[in-house]
Structure 1
Amino acid sequence: MFTVGLTGGIGSGKSAAAGYFRDLGINVVDADWAARVVVQPGKPALEQVARHFGADVLLESGELNRSKLRTLIFDDPGERQWLESLLHPLIREEITSSLNASQGPYAILESPLLIESGQYELVNRICVVDLPEALQLERASARDNSQQEQIRKIMTAQLTREQRLEKADDVLDNANDLASLKDQVGQLHRAYLQIARLKQSS
């Protein structure tokens, strides 16, 4: 199936764009959802994470304490690399399975680390939700009620705006309001339908 990778930095509006594609009847596979599935209680990956980082990364319920883990890995690039080497192959399996089960003219893979993780290899096109970094920082801080310093660490761990745009086949400009973003999604949807039809007929 024709598949589009939808990506963007933290606070870019990627989830809003994905929601508009869903409203148009397109199946969206969320890489963040896949990342949560592979560390559910009882999964081997969660046990490995707890052994490596200590019991503090688990909540009383036995679930992963994401905020604690996030603090640990963004303060230590080596630890982040260890975690990614464990989880990325498992997440990729989950994503592939969900994409293979998709129905409809085309599918969307929504992933904040589409390019960094190598998940772009699973898609035919890359669509980047873009906005100036100052606005990205402002929106992410307001949305997550987080300190700007923590948001900056996350942004540093991701590709720069320029690096993402270099990889983009399509760009959604989210510097304005959500109505503008929705209109752009509609235009891309029509283009993707045409590409999907051509792909099926070839």
Structure 2
Amino acid sequence: MFIVGLTGGIGSGKSTVSNMLSEKGIDIIDGDLIARQVVRPGMKALKLLCKHFDLPLLFESGKMVRYLGHSIVVKCNRNQQIQRLKLRNNYTEDECISRIDAQMSLDEKCRLADIVIDNSVDLDYTRKQVDQVVKELRSSYKHWKLRIALMAAILITITIDFS
């Protein structure tokens, strides 16, 4: 089992990479999707989530990184972000720039990440990087620390239940 954080800037290709990971048999928990389902207009959930977790979580708050085995950033260049947002969301250039500038820069996220996937060329290039990342993660022994910790917690719980 791996706990890997996947992040990037708006329009950088996080969903594309997430889909590629899913195609490789990697289970995905999409925090954005969960947040959209939980946080609906008029509900108190957004304020509570922000109060307790300082969304966005991964690099911006620094609180989630310690729970991850690896962090992956998906990057592209700024012009690509703008063009993708125009196509996907029908934003004006000013709206795109405003949203991009409201986030931590991709350069900063790349500096903080364990792994960077460059999504600025084409899908084949991105897919080759995803394939390599999955291969490296699957051959890593880092995930065994998490498995051992989880098994120890289960054994302790079982022992306590039978005491």
Bin for the TM-score computed over the shorter chain: 0.7 to 0.9
| Structure ranking higher on relative contact order (CA contacts 8 Å, 6+ apart) | 1
- Residue number in structure 2 paired with 1:125: 70
| CA distance in structure 2 between the aligned counterparts of 1:112 and 1:139, rounded to whole angstroms | 21
- Contact 1:7–1:129 (8 Å) recurs in 2: yes
- Contact 1:38–1:87 (8 Å) recurs in 2: no
* CA shift for structure 1 position 42: 8.2
Instruction: Name the SS for the 2:39 alignment partner.
Output: coil
- Contact 1:137–1:148 (8 Å) recurs in 2: yes
Instruction: Name the SS for the 1:29 alignment partner.
Output: coil
- Contact 1:113–1:158 (8 Å) recurs in 2: no
Counterparts in 2 of 1:37 and 1:91: CA distance versus 1, 3 Å: farther
| CA distance in structure 2 between the aligned counterparts of 1:173 and 1:155, rounded to whole angstroms | 17
- Residue number in structure 1 paired with 2:89: 144
* CA shift for structure 1 position 13: 0.6
Amino acid paired to 1:88: C
- State how 1:84-123 maps to structure 2 within 5 Å: 86-88=48-50, 114-117=58-61, 118-123=63-68
Give the gaps of 5 or more residues in structure 1.
47-82, 93-110
Counterparts in 2 of 1:168 and 1:115: CA distance versus 1, 3 Å: same
Cα offsets for 1:4-30 (capped at 9, x unmatched)? 111110110110000000001111111
* CA shift for structure 1 position 130: 1.0
| CA distance in structure 1 between the aligned counterparts of 2:66 and 2:142, rounded to whole angstroms | 21
Give the gaps of 5 or more residues in structure 2.
149-163
Residues paired across the two proteins, number:
145
| CA distance in structure 2 between the aligned counterparts of 1:14 and 1:169, rounded to whole angstroms | 16
Q: Identity over aligned residues, as a percent?
A: 35
TM-score by length of 2: 0.76
- Residue number in structure 1 paired with 2:156: none
| CA distance in structure 2 between the aligned counterparts of 1:171 and 1:158, rounded to whole angstroms | 17
CA RMSD of the aligned region, Å?
2.6
| CA distance in structure 2 between the aligned counterparts of 1:159 and 1:151, rounded to whole angstroms | 14
* CA shift for structure 1 position 32: 0.6
TM-score by length of 1: 0.63
- Contact 1:10–1:112 (8 Å) recurs in 2: no
- Residue number in structure 2 paired with 1:199: 143
